[in-house]
Structure 1
Amino acid sequence: MPKVSAKRQITLPIEQCRVAGIEPGDEYQSFVDNEGHITIVKKVAGAAHGLLSHVKGDSRMSDEASMKSGIGA
């Protein structure tokens, strides 16, 4: 069974990497839920492409005004 190293590093079992399509050098994100479970997700280039395509900009608003509205100023 894999163990956490002194540097808090973990080694993922090779079979899990094969199933998840994780290769050496791949980037990932990890998340911890309220119960302490860790989820590791492989980053995929372009995965968020089009995510905000439904959002329409308002060309009447300046960049400065837009930034201020986003921070509640």
Structure 2
Amino acid sequence: MPKVSAKRQITLPVSQCEALEIEPGDDVESFIAYGQLIIVKKKRGAARSVLKHVLGNPSMTDEESMENSLQ
């Protein structure tokens, strides 16, 4: 099971990287949704299907959103 290092880095298991075709040097994005950390390989539209059920609040600023996610 991966652990978070002192620098807050996470090493992904080889099997998960292979399943998602993540190679060294690839960009990934991380999101928090419903208390879960979601990591996706960064490519156009990659997060769309994963996050389609997450509704945004257009009246909330980015700063307010970040504050709410930390609570």
CA distance in 1 between partners of 2:17 and 2:25 (Å): 12
Inter-partner Cα distance in structure 2 for 1:43 and 1:15: 18
Moved over 2 A (4+): none
Matches within 5 A, 1:1-73: 1-34=1-34, 36-44=35-43, 47=44
Give the aligned CA root-mean-square deviation in angstroms: 1.2
For residues 43 and 8 of structure 1, the distance between their equivalents in structure 2, rounded to whole angstroms, comes to 20
- Structure 1, residues 29-64: CA drift from partner, whole Å, max 9, x if none? 100113x211111112xx25xxxxxxxxxxxxxxxx
Query: Which one has a bigger Cα radius of gyration?
Result: 1
Query: 1:3, 1:40 → 2: CA distance?
Result: 15
Gap regions ≥5 residues in structure 1: 49-73
Cα offsets for 1:9-48 (capped at 9, x unmatched):
00000000000110000001100113x211111112xx25
CA–CA separation in structure 1 for the residues paired with 2:40 and 2:30: 6
Question: TM-score of the superposition, structure 1-length normalised?
Answer: 0.56
In structure 2, stretches of 5+ residues that fail to align are: 46-71
Normalising by structure 2, we get a TM-score of: 0.58
Number of aligned residue pairs: 45
